Homo-oligomer: A and B are copies of this chain.
Amino acid sequence: MAHIAQLAEVDVSTVSRALADSPRVTVETKERIRKIVEETGYVVNHGARMLRNQMAGQILVILPNIAATFYPEVVLGIEDTAQKEGMSVIIGSTQLDNVREEALAQQLLNGAVDGIILLTGHLPEVLRNFAGIERHIVAVSRSVADISIPYVNIDNEKAFAAAVKHLLAQGYTDIAHIAGPKRSPTAIARIQGYTRAMTEAGLSTFIRVEAAESYDIEAGRLAMQRILSSGPPPRAVACASDEMAMGAIRSTRNEGLRVPEDIAFIGFDDISFAAAFEPALTTIRSPRRKMGELGAQLLIRNLKNPNLKPKSIVVEHQLIVRESCGAKRSKGKTSAPNRDN
């Protein structure tokens, strides 16, 4: 920067102001400096800026399991925005281990990171009484129970109701629901969406919720086995995740039943392989990358403006009609694989 100042024949402080687009520098001076900066390819020293500004310049993303296909795209959205804002991102995977989770959360307390984006839907204990909780933490894609934290998420209840309504629109009445772990707010919201859609259709007698321990393929397989072994099979099943749907479909076929002819399925998430799966999954897509971007924007905005009132953001889901629900393709619905969104 001293170099730039020399070339522009001004003081470093002027260069600094010019770069910050301060009104206390004439337009001509700014322009001259801007040109030199461009020519020299100068970039401000991140370390020096952070040192001066008393920020770590880092955001910590806490997610439950790196292996799950859902998260990477959210993370990439976060990275993208963070980078634009001059912050970097570090990732911590709890692997469902409490100790690891608390250790990660410590990083906010001791100032190693400026803020945390939670993808776990769970607030670490050590942060429960942290003063700046609303300014330094944002929950993305999984809301946190009990406590008010700004979040970015789809409306899970509405989204799942939309899934069920799509099955209803195919003429199915006996529709079961394979749900996520019953304590998670997300699972609860989806169960409510299911229940509401069924009730509104006057089908409350058909309501059947089979809760699983997790959202993975194996959980779906087991849940479907329980459903099939406990009486006459339902005509359709709404699953709380695509992975569950895949497991459940495998289960169903193992029993000699056809999908979607005997039992129709709808998943949730639109993970990248939902389209390649056989049968291709009808599902609800949430804008993963977008949620990551918005989450990072929200967090950084809160960090930079201590006086701003933290808010939450609800994003739109999208119904993706493919094969597993047994529908004729309706016009205007995309069925392309989820490349980005």
The minimal Cβ–Cβ distance linking A129 to chain B, given in whole angstroms, is 15
Against B, the Cβ 8 Å flags (1 = close, 0 = not) of A123-142 are 00000000000000000000
- Interchain CB contact under 8 A, B49 and A76: no
Of B79, B109, B217, which contacts A41 at CB under 8 A? B109
Q: Which residues of B contact A170 (CB under 8 A)?
A: none
Of B56, B91, B247, B272, which contacts A79 at CB under 8 A? B91
Q: Would you call A88 an interface residue if the criterion is a C-beta within 8 Å of the partner chain's C-beta atoms?
A: yes
Of B50, B72, B88, B339, which contacts A72 at CB under 8 A? B72
- Interchain CB contact under 8 A, B91 and A88: no
Q: Would you call A83 an interface residue if the criterion is a C-beta within 8 Å of the partner chain's C-beta atoms?
A: yes
Which residues of chain A (55-107) have a CB below 8 Å from chain B? 55-58, 66-67, 69, 72-73, 75-76, 79-80, 83, 88-91, 93, 106-107
The minimal Cβ–Cβ distance linking A283 to chain B, given in whole angstroms, is 14
Complexed CA–CA distance, A75 and B61 (Å): 14
The minimal Cβ–Cβ distance linking A279 to chain B, given in whole angstroms, is 9
Q: Would you call A198 an interface residue if the criterion is a C-beta within 8 Å of the partner chain's C-beta atoms?
A: no
- Interchain CB contact under 8 A, A43 and B276: no
- Interchain CB contact under 8 A, A48 and B46: no
The closest CB in chain B to the CB of A44 belongs to B112
Against B, the Cβ 8 Å flags (1 = close, 0 = not) of A214-253 are 0001000000000000000000000000010011001000
Q: How many copies does the complex hold?
A: 2
Complexed CA–CA distance, A227 and B127 (Å): 59
Q: Which residues of B contact A58 (CB under 8 A)?
A: 46, 88
- Interchain CB contact under 8 A, B43 and A111: yes
The closest CB in chain B to the CB of A73 belongs to B66
Complexed CA–CA distance, A339 and B67 (Å): 6
The closest CB in chain B to the CB of A289 belongs to B66
Q: Would you call A110 an interface residue if the criterion is a C-beta within 8 Å of the partner chain's C-beta atoms?
A: yes
The closest CB in chain B to the CB of A82 belongs to B90
Find the residue from A46, A56, A246, A272 having the highest chain B CB count within 10 A: A46
- Interchain CB contact under 8 A, A43 and B112: yes
The closest CB in chain B to the CB of A95 belongs to B340
Ordered by A's residue number, 6 sampled pairs between the chains whose C-beta atoms are within 8 Å are A47-B47, A67-B272, A72-B75, A76-B93, A79-B90, A247-B276
